[in-house]
Amino acid sequence: MTTLIGPSEKQVDFILTLLSERDIEAGTADEMRENLPAMDKRQASDLIASLLKLPKLPRVRRPNPTQEFLAAIQKSKYALPVSHINHLDLDFEIHGDLLFVEVREYMGTLYMRRLTGSLGGFTRHKLSVHDVIDLAKVIASNQYLYAKTFGEHYSCCGSCGAELTDPTSRSLQLGPECRKKFGF
């Protein structure tokens, strides 16, 4: 008499994982789960092989909550006076009378970083989600003022940090290309 040995625990775990990750109709997956105890090791191996050939379920990307707030402001460097943000409950301590931040885009995602150091040698610090949202709201209230404040502090373009060469650029604290972003 032949005795059939059921699937191993590892096989069962792997099959259950594959059933949750692969693009299979719900009814078919349920039927496969129900039939697992009646399978032998060979049938379990064959099922694993067939499941591995199926396409994976598409990944569901979680929306980044900061993106809608960062999309409302220009990619630029900003200097925020402490008096404009002292009502916020930030996760870090501010030293001095200005907070410097930068909004950049990398691979289609917008980021805000706190800047410390000096022009050309900034250290960029990651901010918490709620800090980014709070600061983006403040910046959105007057983007040009905060970009101009950055430019005045560092004597450069308030948006990109480039040296300003003409009188119009120096009066606005924005270079010719960066002015277009702010509607000048």
Domain positions in the chain are 9-53, 67-181
**What's the predicted TM-score (pTM) here?**
0.66
How confident is residue 80, by pLDDT bands cut at 50, 70 and 90?
Answer: very high
- CA dist 174 and 184 (Å) reads 9
The pLDDT assigned to 3 comes to 60
The residue-averaged pLDDT of 22-35 equals 86
Side chain identity at 101, as an amino acid letter?
A: V
**SS3 assignment for 53-113:** HCCECCCCCCCCCCHHHHCCCCCCEEEEEHHHHCCCCCCCCCCCCEEEEEEEEECCEEEEE
Q: How far apart are CA 20 and CA 143, in angstroms?
A: 47
| Tokens (6 digits) for 22 | 């692969």
